[in-house]
Amino acid sequence: MSARSSQSHTSTPSNILEQVRQCAASVTRYPLDILTEHAQLEDDLGIDSVKLAEIAAVIAREFHLPPDRLPRNGKARTLGAIAGAVTEALGTVPVPAVPVAVPAVVEALQAPDLLPRVRAVFARVTRYPEELLTPHADLEDELGIDSVKQAEVMAVLAKELGLGEAPKFSQRLRTMAAIAEAAGTLLPAAPPVVEARPRAPVHAAPAPVVPRAELPFAGKVALVTGSGKGIGRVIATRLARAGATVVVNSFHSREDGEKTARDIVDAGGKAVHLWGSVAQEEHLERMFTVIRDELGGLDLLVCNASNGLIGPFDRIAPRDWDKAFRTCITGTYECAMRARPLMAARGGGSIVTMSTSMSQRYMHDLGCQGVVKAGVESLTRYLAAELAPDGIRTNCVSAGPVHGELLGMFPDAPERVARWESATPGGRLCTADDVADVTELLLGPKTQRVNGAIWVVDAGLSGTVDGLLPAARAS
Ligand SMILES: NC(=O)c1ccc[n+]([C@@H]2O[C@H](COP(=O)([O-])OP(=O)(O)OC[C@H]3O[C@@H](n4cnc5c(N)ncnc54)[C@H](OP(=O)(O)O)[C@@H]3O)[C@@H](O)[C@H]2O)c1
């Protein structure tokens, strides 16, 4: 029963608080007794701004309130404060039982069908399942829709709403709700009707599994996170070539993930693509459900997905640390723990995590990744110990700079790469294939007794003293 149906004009602050607590419990899955009125959401309960936005959306839906009536981020420090805001909003928001005449522009602003239209356009352009496109999800952080894709969506949306060119808004709009609201202000009167669109499938249909017994990973199922491009793509392709059915995963770069899976299948291998963020529980829940129900389980896991700002410390904001931690640490942990029962049911498995050898050294501009990857190495040792009773080995490949997209993100990349190369004992940096060689070895049967190991693959760079400081200081 929704709050609206259970609530009446006699709603009291105390039963509103109860409903707010229930909403928070349903989102966080925390036991109700710790969700007290005065507990600090972030400090006491560890509810970050992303989770808080989710809770606010559920509460708004529950009480049929416009979401902007609820305090978010720093303003909502306790559930008591949120309940207070709900109480206040319920006192001032008119129940829409009696139609009220409103001027055309206000009508447009309140147009009830604009948000569904915005979502439908997002779903069509991004091909995301609509249920994931929640109105208040942060487009970039939670849905992985980068600014280029957003511009594409805005162009289509502008056309559908008859706005001519994609409008330029004075501030960056981070959610679909914000876009719907801003677009509403631009609509002249009655907006054009948009047809309902069919929902895109969540993932490609799995290819039939035909094990080729002579290959080392024949009959094995492997998940490689973040494998649409870069090193992950190379690893996924190599595992498929070695006979595994590979689950290719991508998040921000959906097309790359789909293409990698397609390329593997075109080359005679077996692969499916699953879209989703390793930093978000509900995405992982969907991915692992597919792996369990449609592929029958998991044998090999490569936690390759990574996110960490490249730049000096004075450019790294708390949000960047949070993103790096959630992707590299929480994401690796969540994947490993979800893989555990699936691997145990098949008599064991093997996990490889991905670090950088600069987690143990200083490399200019790599602080965010270096620090978080040191955590990945530690997590690897803990997983190795805790999962060993289930026959699961966990090892880490700690790579040095590898030619590819990531290196291109460093300022003065060509100059730096030349300096790193000259500081590398053999004069050449590693390649993605070098990293894949070691990953394959650690995953496979030849390293049965290797567990909790951190194998450095950086052509010896981290053993030298040159090349890691900025040019001005190094010379
Ligand atoms: N390249 C190097 O020089 C180097 C050196 C040392 C260590 N490493 C490590 O090697 C691994 C691969 O590196 P790389 O350079 O190929 O790529 P990268 O730029 O570090 O990114 C890795 C992958 O992570 C994915 N990703 C980011 N956020 C994600 C999320 N929330 N959920 C799922 N996937 C996500 C990206 O795909 P989407 O765009 O689809 O999200 C991308 O494919 C990383 O762990 C990296 O730290 C790389």
In a domain, 318, yes or no: yes
Nearest CA to 301 out of 376, 239, 223, 216 is that of: 223
pLDDT at 8: 41
Please check whether residues 356 and 297 belong to one and the same domain: yes
Query: Which residue's CA is minimally distant from atom 46 of ligand 1?
Result: 306
Please give the number of the atom of ligand 1 that sits closest to the Cα of 278.
Answer: 32
Q: Which mutation among 254, 274, 302, 306 tests ligand 1's pocket best, with the greatest number of atoms within 8 A of CB?
A: 306
Nearest CA to 23 out of 57, 58, 66 is that of: 58
Cα 307 to ligand 1 centroid, rounded to whole Å: 6
Q: Which of 71, 92, 113 is the last residue of a domain?
A: 92
3-state helix, strand, coil in the chain (%, to 5): 50, 10, 40
Q: Which residues approach ligand 1 with their CB closer than 6 A?
A: 144, 225-226, 228-232, 249-253, 257, 277-279, 304-307, 327, 354, 356, 369, 399, 401-402, 404-407
Q: Which mutation among 231, 286, 431 tests ligand 1's pocket best, with the greatest number of atoms within 8 A of CB?
A: 231
In a domain, 211, yes or no: no
Amino acid type, 306: S
- CATH code of the domain covering residue 68: 1.10.1200.10
Residue whose token pair is 């559920």: 58
Cα 226 to ligand 1 centroid, rounded to whole Å: 6
Cα 305 to ligand 1 centroid, rounded to whole Å: 5
Q: Write the DSSP symbol of residue 58.
A: H
Q: Along the 475 residues of the chain, how does pLDDT read in single tens digits?
A: 344 434 444 578 888 898 889 888 787 565 466 577 887 676 545 556 666 777 888 888 888 887 777 776 556 788 888 888 888 888 865 433 333 333 332 223 334 578 888 888 888 888 787 777 888 888 888 788 887 788 888 888 888 887 777 777 766 788 888 888 888 777 764 433 322 232 333 333 333 333 456 899 999 999 999 999 999 999 999 999 999 999 999 999 999 999 999 999 999 999 999 999 999 999 999 999 999 999 999 999 999 999 999 999 999 999 999 999 999 999 999 999 999 999 999 999 999 999 999 999 999 899 999 999 999 999 999 999 999 999 999 999 999 999 887 788 887 888 889 999 999 999 999 999 999 999 999 999 999 999 999 999 999 999 987 767 776 665 5
In a domain, 303, yes or no: yes
Q: Which mutation among 251, 288, 330 tests ligand 1's pocket best, with the greatest number of atoms within 8 A of CB?
A: 251
pLDDT at 30: 52
Please give the number of the atom of ligand 1 that sits closest to the Cα of 435.
Answer: 10
Whether 364 contacts 469, CB under 8 Å = yes
Return the number of other C-beta atoms located less than 10 Å from residue 220's C-beta: 23
Please check whether residues 330 and 443 belong to one and the same domain: yes
Amino acid type, 251: F
In a domain, 206, yes or no: no
Cα 214 to ligand 1 centroid, rounded to whole Å: 31
User: Token pair for residue 67?
Assistant: 């979401």
Cα 90 to ligand 1 centroid, rounded to whole Å: 46
Please check whether residues 361 and 283 belong to one and the same domain: yes
Please check whether residues 10 and 142 belong to one and the same domain: no
Cα 228 to ligand 1 centroid, rounded to whole Å: 9
Q: Which mutation among 250, 358, 406 tests ligand 1's pocket best, with the greatest number of atoms within 8 A of CB?
A: 406
Please check whether residues 165 and 49 belong to one and the same domain: no
Q: How far, in Å, CA of 202 to CA of 128, rounded?
A: 7
- Expressed as residue numbers, the domain containing 347 is 221-474
- CA–centroid distance for 149 within its chain: 16
Please check whether residues 417 and 301 belong to one and the same domain: yes
Residue whose token pair is 């003293």: 465
Query: Which residue's CA is minimally distant from atom 37 of ligand 1?
Result: 226
Q: Which residues touch 244 (CB under 8 Å, ≥6 apart)? A: 217, 218, 220, 221, 222, 270, 299, 300
Q: Which mutation among 252, 256, 329, 462 tests ligand 1's pocket best, with the greatest number of atoms within 8 A of CB?
A: 252
Cα 51 to ligand 1 centroid, rounded to whole Å: 24
In a domain, 191, yes or no: no
Please check whether residues 290 and 351 belong to one and the same domain: yes
Please check whether residues 383 and 241 belong to one and the same domain: yes
Q: Which mutation among 233, 260, 281, 304 tests ligand 1's pocket best, with the greatest number of atoms within 8 A of CB?
A: 304
Please check whether residues 468 and 361 belong to one and the same domain: yes
Cα 232 to ligand 1 centroid, rounded to whole Å: 7
Query: Which residue's CA is minimally distant from atom 36 of ligand 1?
Result: 226
Say what the alpha-carbon torsion angle 122, 128, 134, 140 is, to the nearest 10 degrees: -80
Query: Which residue's CA is minimally distant from atom 25 of ligand 1?
Result: 226
In a domain, 99, yes or no: no
Q: Which of 186, 201, 230 is the last residue of a domain?
A: 186
In a domain, 355, yes or no: yes
DSSP 294-362: HH---SEEEE-------S-GGG--HHHHHHHHIIIIIHHHHHHHHHHHHHHHTT-EEEEEEEEGGGSS-
Please check whether residues 80 and 117 belong to one and the same domain: no
pLDDT at 201: 34
Cα 376 to ligand 1 centroid, rounded to whole Å: 14
Please check whether residues 270 and 307 belong to one and the same domain: yes
Q: Is 423 left (phi over 0), alpha (psi -120 to 50) or beta?
A: alpha
Q: Which of 69, 92, 115 is the last residue of a domain?
A: 92
Phi, psi of 151 (to 5 degrees): -65, -40
Please check whether residues 125 and 237 belong to one and the same domain: no
- CATH code of the domain covering residue 323: 3.40.50.720
In a domain, 279, yes or no: yes
Please give the number of the atom of ligand 1 that sits closest to the Cα of 231.
Answer: 16
What is the number of structural domains in the chain? Answer: 3
